[in-house]
Structures are given as C-alpha cells and as structure tokens.
C-alpha cells in the first residue's frame, strides 16, 4: 500500500522577503513525501550526489521515509537557487544545476515496480514515461509538470499525459498547456488529453478540481506570515495523493477530501524555510486545519430562496 | 426597506478579446442596482447629462429601479473607455471624462435621507462622507473604493472608512490601502480602520469575507466564456448588499449567504457586454447558480480522521 514518488532531491538556496537560506534540503520528492507520509508509507525514487548531507538524509529517515530506492551517485547533488518577489507570487530562478540529476534514469526494483500508487513529480516527461513503463500494476498514477516541459517537450508531455489518471498543475501552466486564456476552460481542455481529473493549484487562492462531471473548489488555509513558498505545490500533491490513496476508492467525495488535505499540508510548508514546516508535524495539527478549511466554506441557503423578490 | 446607491451612471466604450462596444450603459450605480433589485427596491442617486440616452433610462426603469433621485444636468454624461488584456485580468483605461459627474454634489431628498441601507459606490471619499452626513438613521452602510482614491485622497478615505460598516475592496487595493503584501493580513488590517467586516473581491477566484471572528471564502461561479468583466465588482456588491439588507440581521451566516449571492450575480454580469447579462435575469437562474456554488465547496471529512497514520 505504499506510494512511490519519482522526483528530485536537492539543495536549495532561497531568498524571500523573510530572509535567505543556503543549500537547504529541497526538491519535489522531499516535499511530496513529507506530506504523503501522514497517510501511507512513501518510497522516494531519486538520485543525490556524494555530497548530499548526512543531516538531510537523516531528516528524511527520521520522518519514516523509505530511501531504499534512493541512488547515491559520485558527483554533486542537484541545486536550485531562486529569489521571490515581495508578494511572493512570482520568483526568479537564479541558477539550476542539474548535476547528478542530469543522467538520472530510474531503474526500479521489483518491489517498486509492483507499487500501485505512483506520483510522477515535475521531471522530464520522457523520464516520467520510462518510470510508467516499468510499473507492473499501476492503479493510481498522478503527475505534475511545469512550464519548462510544456515549452520544450510538449509532444513528449502529451504522450505522458495520455497515461496519467490525475494531473496536478498550476493555473498559468494549465493555460500554457492548452492555449486557453480562461483557467476553467483550460482545465476542461486537459480532460481531453488523458487525465480523468485535473487539479489546478492556485497558490494563495487554494485549488480546484475538475473532472468530467465533478467540480470542487478548496480555498487555501490563510497564512498571515508566509516565509517560503518553495515546494508548496509538491506538498499539496503529497497531501492530496496520500489521502486519496489511503481512502482507496476514487469517488467524487474522496477527491474533494483529498483536495482539502492537499491545501492543508501546503499551508504548513510555506510557514518555514525549506521543509521545516513539515518536520515533526503532528496529526492533531493537520486535523485542526482541515476542520478550519471546512468551516471557511460552510454555508446553507435553506431559507434564502424566498429572499428573492 | 429600499436600498440607496450613490455612484456613477455613464456611457462606456469597452474593448475585450470578445469584441468592442461603444457608448453603452455603465457606471457603478447601474451594475449595483441591477443586482440588488432582486432582493429589495433600489433607488439610484446619481447624475447624468442631457445626452443620456432615453433607451438607457428606459432599461433601468423597466427593471423596476427608482430613478426619482437621478439628477439630469445640462451637459455631457460621464464617459469611460477601457481595453482589457487577453486573459481579462488587467485593463487599461484609455480615457475618463467626468463631465457632469465632476460637479456632482448629492443633496438627498428627505425620503432618501431616511433610508437605512446605503451603498457608497466607488466615488470620491469626500462625496461619500457628504452623503453619509445627510443620512438620518443609517443602519447598514457599505462602501467600495479604488486605487485612485487610495493614492490621491488617502486621508479623506480613512475618514470615510471610520464611518463604514462593511468595506468591499479588491485584492490589489486592499494591499495598497494597508501596505501589507499578503492579502489576508491586509484584510485584517482594514478591520482596524473602522469597518467591522471587509469583503475582498478576487475576480475569477471569487471573494472572501473577513470579520473580527469570521472568515468565509466563496469561489466564483466558473464562466467559460467571459465577454466583459466591467462592473463585476459593483454587481457583486449589489448581490451581496441586496441579500444582506433583505435578511436584515448581520450574522455570520447571513454574511456568508450574502457573499454567495454576490458571487452569483457577478457571474451573470461578465457573460455579456455592459449590463446585458443582468437584464431580464430570472429568479430561477439566480437560485440555480447559488445552489451550484454551494455544491462546489460541499465536502465532509466525517470518517477521514482515521486516515492519518
């Protein structure tokens, strides 16, 4: 019943209005797994260099993550550096060093190939498909992507999307992928590309879920002091997929519940630099925020129909 | 039990990716009143020039709006021209001609002074306060404003806000007014300026309501083909205030319900140029969309607590 996540582990240098940190633990697989672990065991399929700090590895192990499929390769670990704007809604990438990630070609072990729940984090769509082709009985395959792949490897990405059950994507990327200027139209257009459901992440506005007959909107849990938005989308994916895989059946209500957990986990990620907000996170805190998100949209219109003249 | 709206009536020239219209009925009071009329009678306090088309006046009268307080002044009517970006999230003002609006000094009749529900649309905060000072028993006073007044008449605006019960404002303006980069922090800061509740309009992301102990988020009803976003905020205000005034008591639940109606009415406004989407709008259509908005956020987490490991 474990979830496999194929993505990056890296060392991030991040500058936000709240401060600057250097060479801290990052990467899509780190954020995803630290969120999904609340629901099911998570196995990380990734590569790091020989310089990957023992402390970073220990942090992941301490949270119970399965690193048996983590490759350690001679060389330098993936590195990323970014600077956020004052309102943190945009960021500039200062540098991306692929390093050992450049030649990453996941060759899954027999037990990983048999896993039924797989998250293809934002990596080269060719790699995403190579992983997919190794799975022996995939049930719930979710994927993420980004503008870089939409622009440079669109055809490969479309081939991957054809095999993905649920796509997680942000607003701008959804519009870019489909050429639709209106996000809701973009989401519906993605449903013709393969996925039966698409989850559009809207940052501080939460997320919405579009299925062929389903539509659900989840607001973000309001965070007054955002410290570092890095990894919020991957954390959302971890909360979403963890909850959904644990519930087992992909029903409209379970998709809605999973979206709530995605938003809730993401809210913890942005409260500290790096993965700090996700370490030592207690079950009770997750439940408290999930209840708070529900109360934020609770309303009835029982007796208001007669309000209209 | 009528609502008075003090604002502009004008002739708009609008260009959006969907087309271009010239000299069509517009102005904050037009949009507001065409939404609020579904709940209570609405009296428009505004000024137009002698060139105001009889057809525009007839359109308002046909929808049952009270024009007894509409001043017709020798001269030209207020005009505005704007061009929207491809995604319609930004617009450029090509020209603003105040014309007769420049010397508008509302002098309310005795019966209007006694109205308990008043909406101060986005006009000069000095004018807003002049209207306020004429009211003899104000109960529910709501106001809107815009970046222009925040920049050029901040002190006057603050004096007005001190006397307003609920402020409606958009995200960017909330941040600009308070100097807070995070919208939620901005909303809370506005609560220290006078209003007991602030409603932050987020365009295609809906709206949220922030009170001292209340927080509610309402998604927008998804419109696939937006034709013209002009007046969506004023229409939201009309739906919100109409519903709230009709319900009478300002409770947390009634504020939530009012927000739903604000989002619903706004969704009709953007589907046609000018006020076209609000004319001949049927009660059944409003109720259908209100129910749809509710279903978009309906979720329970009853049995999910045990999902967490």
Residue B59 to chain A, least CA–CA distance (Å): 19
Per-residue pLDDT band at B302 (split at 50, 70, 90): confident
**Domain tally, chain A:** 1
Which chain A residues are within 8 Å of B206, Cβ to Cβ? Answer: 217
Chain B contact for A174 (CB, 8 A cutoff):
no
**What's the average model confidence in pLDDT over B61-66?**
97
Partners of residue A309 in chain B, C-beta under 8 Å: 37-40, 283
Cβ pair A219:B208 closer than 8 A: yes
pLDDT at B224: 82
User: What is the mean predicted confidence (pLDDT) over B7-19?
Assistant: 97
Number of H helices, E strands in chain A: 11, 13
Integer Rg of chain A from CA: 19
- Which residues in chain B touch residue A86, judged by CB atoms under 8 angstroms apart? 181
CB nearest B217 (choices: A86, A219, A305)? A219
Q: In this predicted model, what pLDDT tens digit does every residue of A71-122 receive, in sequence order? A: 999 999 999 999 999 888 889 999 999 999 999 999 999 999 999 999 999 9
For chain B positions 240-279, those within 8 Å of chain A (CB to CB) are 243, 246-247, 253, 256-257, 259-261
pLDDT at B103 over 80: yes
Residue carrying the six token digits 């709006």: B65
Give the Cα separation of A240 and A235 in Å (integer): 8
Q: Identify whether A308 is part of a domain.
A: no
Residues of A in contact with B291 (CB under 8 A): 301
Q: Which residue in chain A has the smallest CA separation from B305?
A: A287
CB pairs < 8 Å spanning A and B:
138
Residue of A nearest to B213 (CA): A296
Summarize pLDDT for B145-159 with one digit per residue, the tens. Answer: 999 999 999 999 999
B202 lies within 8 A of chain A by CB:
yes
Q: Residues of A numbered 51-80 whose beta carbons fall under 8 angstroms of chain B's beta carbons: which are they?
A: none
| Nearest residue in chain A measured CA to CA from B223 | A184
Would the pTM of this model clear 0.90, i.e. be above it? yes
Residue at B15 is within a domain: yes
A286 and B CB contact within 8 Å: yes
For residue B218, is it within any domain? yes
Q: Please give, rounded to a whole number of angstroms, the shortest distance from the CA of B281 to a CA of chain A.
A: 12
Cα separation of B127 and B133, whole Å? Answer: 10
**How high is the pLDDT of residue A182?**
86
Position A306 in a domain: no
- Structure-token pair, residue A202: 């809207």
Rounded CA-CA distance B206/B233 in Å is 10
| Distance separating alpha carbons of residues A207 and A171, to the nearest angstrom | 9
Task: State the average pLDDT for chain A.
Answer: 95
Does B100 score more than 70 pLDDT?
yes
* B86–A181 CB contact, under 8 Å: yes
Q: Which pairing describes strands A78-84 and A91-97: parallel, antiparallel, or unpaired?
A: antiparallel
The alpha carbon of residue B293 is apart from the nearest alpha carbon of chain A, in Å, by: 9
Secondary structure of chain B as H, E, C letters: CCEEEECCCEEEEEEECCEEEEEEEECHHHHHHHHHCCCCCEEEEEEEECCCCHHHHHHHHHCCCECCCEEEECCCCEEEEEEECCCCCCEEEEEEECHHHHHCCCCCCHHHHCCCEEEECCCCHHHHHHHHHHCCCCCEEEEECCHHHHHHCHHHHHHHHCCCCEEEEEHHHHHHHHCCCCHHHHHHHHCCCCCCEEEEECHHHCEEEEECCCEEEECCCCCCCCCCCCCHHHHHHHHHHHHHHHHCCCCHHHHHHHHHHHHHHHHHHCCCCCCHHHCCCCHHHHHHHHHHHHHHHCCCCCCCHHHCC
User: Does a structural domain hold residue B304?
Assistant: no
Say whether pLDDT at B304 is over 80.
no
Give the domain CATH number at A239: 3.40.1190.20
A123-144 pLDDT tens trace: 999 999 999 999 999 999 999 9
Contacting A residues, span 224-243, partner chain B, CB-CB under 8 Å: 224-226, 243
Q: What is the pLDDT of residue B87?
A: 81
Is residue A221 packed enough to be buried (19+ CB in 10 Å), middle (13-18) or exposed (0-12)? buried
**What is the per-residue pLDDT for A107?**
95
Structural domain boundaries, residue A39: 3-297
Q: Which chain A residue shows the shortest CA-CA distance from B252?
A: A299
A215 touches chain B (CB under 8 A): yes
List, for residues B78-96, the tens digit of each pLDDT value: 999 999 998 888 899 999 9
Q: Has residue A307 been placed in a domain?
A: no
**Contacts with A243 from chain B: Cβ below 8 Å:** 304, 307
Question: Chain-centre distance of CA A235, in angstroms?
Answer: 5
pLDDT over 90 for what percent of chain A? 93
Query: Taking CB atoms and an 8 Å cutoff, what residues of chain A touch B309?
Result: 37-40, 283
Contacts of A296 in chain B (CB under 8 A): 215-217
Q: What is the pLDDT of residue B1?
A: 83
| pLDDT for res A304 | 67
- Arithmetic mean of pLDDT, B218-222: 95
Window 5-24 of B: residues touching A by CB (8 A cutoff) are 17
pLDDT at B194 over 80: yes
Q: Which residues are CB-neighbours of B21 under 8 A, at least 6 positions away?
A: B12, B13, B14, B228, B273, B274
Query: Kind of pairing, strands A207-211 and B117-120?
Result: unpaired
pLDDT at A86: 85
pLDDT at B180 > cutoff 70: yes
Residue of chain A nearest B188, judged by CA positions: A224
Residue A125 belongs to a domain: yes
Residue B306 included in any domain: no
With beta carbons under 8 A apart, name residues in chain B contacting A225: 182, 185
How far away is chain A from the Cα of B209, in angstroms, using its nearest Cα? 9
Tens digits of per-residue pLDDT, A22-50? 999 999 999 999 999 999 999 999 999 99
- A198-240: pLDDT as tens digits: 999 999 999 999 999 899 999 999 998 899 999 999 999 999 9
What is the pLDDT at residue B298? 94
Asked if B307 is an interface residue toward chain A (Cβ–Cβ < 8 A), one would say yes
A181 touches chain B (CB under 8 A): yes
Which 3-state string (H, E, C) describes B202-220? CHHHCEEEEECCCEEEECC
């Amino acid at each position: 019943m474990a979830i496999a996540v194929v993505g990056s582990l890296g060392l991030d240098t991040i500058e936000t209005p709240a401060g600057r940190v250097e060479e801290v633990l990052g990467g899509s697989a780190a954020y995803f797994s630290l969120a999904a672990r609340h629901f099911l065991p998570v196995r990380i399929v990734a590569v790091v260099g020989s310089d990957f700090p023992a402390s970073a590895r220990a942090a992941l192990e301490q949270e119970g993550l399965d690193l048996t499929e983590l490759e350690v390769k001679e060389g330098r670990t993936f590195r990323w550096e970014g600077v956020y704007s004052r309102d943190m809604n945009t960021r500039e990438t200062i540098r991306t060093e692929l390093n050992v990630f450049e030649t990453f070609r996941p060759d899954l072990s027999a037990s990983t190939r048999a896993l039924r729940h797989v998250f293809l984090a934002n990596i080269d769509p060719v790699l995403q498909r190579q992983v997919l082709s190794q799975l022996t009985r995939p049930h719930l395959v979710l994927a993420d992507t980004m503008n870089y792949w939409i622009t440079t490897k669109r055809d490969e990405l479309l081939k991957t999307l054809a095999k993905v059950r649920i796509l997680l994507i942000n607003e701008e990327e959804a519009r870019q992928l489909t050429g639709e200027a209106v996000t809701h139209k973009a989401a519906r257009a993605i449903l013709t590309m393969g996925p039966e459901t698409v989850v559009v992440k809207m940052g501080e506005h939460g997320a919405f879920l579009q299925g062929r007959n389903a539509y659900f909107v989840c607001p973000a849990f309001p965070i007054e002091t955002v410290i570092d938005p890095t990894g919020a989308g991957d954390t959302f994916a971890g909360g979403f997929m963890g909850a959904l895989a644990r519930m087992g059946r992909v029903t409209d209500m379970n998709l809605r519940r999973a979206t709530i957990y995605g938003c809730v986990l993401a809210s913890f990620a942005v409260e500290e630099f790096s993965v700090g907000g996700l370490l030592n996170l207690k079950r009770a805190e997750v439940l408290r925020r999930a209840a708070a998100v529900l109360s934020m949209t609770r309303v009835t219109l029982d007796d208001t129909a007669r309000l209209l003249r």
